[in-house]
Structure 1
Amino acid sequence: MLKLLHESIPWSSKISLLTFGLAIIFSLVSTLFRSGSSLLVSMFVVLLFILIGIIGDTIGLAAATSKEVHFHAMASKKVTGAKEAAYISKNAPVFCSFFNDVVGDIAGIVSGAASTAVVFQAAKIINTTEGSVLFIIITVILTSIIAALTVGGKAICKTIAIYQSTNIIIFTGKCIYFGNRLVQLFMFKQPRKKKAYHRFKKAPGDIANNA
């Protein structure tokens, strides 16, 4: 148990730093949305980040429930993305933490910030002030809708992730494979093999025969 905890410390530190950096970026984004954007753009951002959170939660759960042996069998048949899928399944705790905690939580934070912008923009359109009864009603309704979409979407996708984990992870592996081909992702970048140069020397017997 202590060994597992010791091994998880480096990854936990990296996750914390990554989350800190992403939280700063998304906080700046939410500030920009509050400072002035259209109602439709803010609603689109809310729905987009709800979808990102649902997808992240689905991939994380699928990684946790997938079986690595399935992807090794696919890799032996030269299925595209199978090696990447096997890597995901083998490192399920890492990918589960990244997609569920980092992607899911930050997407929830951003959707919450954008929903605040939607509330203020809707209140401005109907000429109501903060603290009024109508403003409170709008806030409660929008917050409830966002919560229902988030929780309901994740509940549906959890069932899909459990029973279709192999298909989800192989699709994710294919995405990583093609992404690796395009931008050379560092995680799956393979070191170049050095070319071997062989110098062929004649044996002493061959030299004598030629003489």
Structure 2
Amino acid sequence: MKEPLIKSINWSLGIAVITLVLAAIFSIISTLLLSGVTWAMGMLIVFIIVLIGIIFDTIGVAATAANEVPFHAMAAERLPGARHAVLITRNADRFANFCNDVIGDIAGIISGTASAYVVLQLSLQLGAHDGGLWQFIISIIFTSIIAALTVGGKSFGKTLAISYSTPIIYQVGRLFYLIEVKMKIKLINGNDRGKRKRKNKRK
């Protein structure tokens, strides 16, 4: 009972640190991209951030919905990325936590901050320097549009994730495979199976 609790605490602390670092990086990047751009370009950047959140939310749901059995058959045929897809489905809870909660929530927070910047730029262009009625109206309209796109996009993404979980996770597995082969960066640990085998032998 203690071991799962310790693992859970370690994972939570680790993911909190990763979230802190990624949030800082994404915030700096978005601030640099938004500085000095027009409201139209800023709006495009906000939509891209929202799209990133939707994509990662879709991948996270697909990981929890996917079955690893088809990927074993692909791995037996030595298809690139199949082994990584198996590992993703085997670690679906943590993978979904990272995609949905870490990247998804960061994208939501940053899109909100970026939206405020775009509203300010558009208000200034329209002559609403005093933060009056025009800025209030623009803020409501733009915030409502972003919220509708986010919720609607994630709803559509969840439908896709459940219906096409196998091809989605396989493509993610292929991406992980390419990153591991080309850039020598291992994104997911493949030692779980070996650990389980050793535990079974001890039993």
Report the TM-score, using the length of structure 2 for normalisation.
0.86
Matched with 1:78 is 78
Conserved? CA contact 1:33–1:114, under 8 Å: no
**Contact kept in structure 2, 1:66 and 1:166, CA below 8 Å:** yes
1:102 equivalent in structure 2: 102
1:28 partner letter: I
Are residues 189 and 148 of structure 1, via their aligned partners in 2, closer, same or farther at CA, if it must alter by over 3 Å?
closer
Deviation of 1:163 after TM superposition, in Å, equals 1.3
Name the residue aligned to 2:24: 24
* Greater shift in the superposed pair: 99-108 or 21-30: 21-30
Name the stretch that deviates more: 13-22 or 135-144: 13-22
Query: Which position in structure 2 is the counterpart of 1:165?
Result: 165
1:89 aligns with 2:86: no
* Pairing 1:59–2:59 present: yes
The aligned residue for residue 50 of structure 1 is 50
Task: Please state how far the C-alpha of 1:146 moved relative to its aligned partner.
Answer: 0.2
Is the 2:176–2:187 contact (alpha carbons within 8 Å) kept by the matching residues of 1? no
| Counterpart residue type for residue 144 of structure 2 | S
CA–CA distance in 2 between the matches of 1:156 and 1:11?
A: 30
Match of 2:7 in 1: 7
Q: Does the CA-based 8 Å contact 1:30-1:113 persist in structure 2? A: no
Cα shift at 1:174: 0.7
Contact 1:72 1:82 in 2 (8 A): yes
Call closer, same or farther: CA 1:130–1:157 in 2, change over 3 Å.
Answer: farther
Counterpart of 1:23, as a letter, is: A
**Residue 4 of structure 1: how far off its partner (Å):** 3.2
Instruction: Give the conservation status (yes or no) of the 8 Å contact 1:33–1:117.
Output: no
| 1:120-159 to 2 correspondences below 5 Å | 120-159=120-159
Number of residue pairs the alignment of both structures matches:
190
Q: Is the 8 A contact 1:71 1:86 kept in 2?
A: yes
Q: 1:13 to 1:124 in 2, by over 3 A?
A: same
Q: What are the ranges of 5 or more consecutive residues in structure 2 without an aligned counterpart? A: 191-203
**TM-score (normalizing by structure 1):** 0.83
> Which amino acid is 2:124 matched to?
K
Distance 2:5 2:73 in 1: 31
| Identity over aligned pairs, percent | 46
Equivalent-residue separation in structure 1 for 2:177 and 2:49 (angstroms): 24
1:66–1:169 Cα contact (<8 Å) kept: yes
Report the counterpart of residue 208 of structure 1 in structure 2: none
With over 3 angstroms needed to count, the CA separation of the structure-2 counterparts of 1:137 and 1:74, relative to structure 1, is same
Tell me which structure has the larger Cα radius of gyration: 1
AA aligned to 1:79 is L
Q: Which amino acid in structure 2 is aligned with residue 67 of structure 1?
A: N
* Cα RMSD for the two superposed structures: 1.9
CA distance in 1, matches of 2:66, 2:189: 23
Gaps of 5+ in 1: 191-211
2:68–2:89 CA contact under 8 A, matched in 1: yes
Q: Is the 8 A contact 1:180 1:188 kept in 2?
A: no
Secondary structure of residue in 2 paired with 1:150: helix
